[in-house]
Amino acid sequence: MIKPATVQGLQSPLQSQLQDLTTLDLAQALAERLTLTEGDWHRLKGNRLVRSREQAAAALVFLLLDQPEEALTRLQQASGWLDRSLSAPPCPDHGR
């Protein structure tokens, strides 16, 4: 039986590339990927899972930057989205 290529030191190209990145680089990339863009804001502003993921990823970045207070704020916001104690603010463009 043939074993997967990752056995005994063989790595996929992606694994090799990821090893060149720091943990902070990876966390920042994840946070950027999960951040709502201006174009998605209206569609996803009230999506609790999306907003919670966004805040949790930001919290990880702040933890890695040794900023625990800021990380805690983001974790509390992530929790607030999940427990429904937070809701989306109104659109800034509609308030003008």
Instruction: Write down the pTM of the prediction.
Output: 0.78
- Phi/psi for 58 (5° steps) reads -65, -40
What's the confidence (pLDDT) of residue 81? 97
What's the confidence (pLDDT) of residue 8? 58
23-34 and 48-64 are packed helices; what angle lies between their axes, rounded to 10 degrees? 160
Long-range contacts of 15-18 (CB under 8 A, 24+ apart): none
* pLDDT mean for each 10 residues of the chain (96 residues): 55 79 96 94 92 98 98 98 91 63
What's the confidence (pLDDT) of residue 32? 98
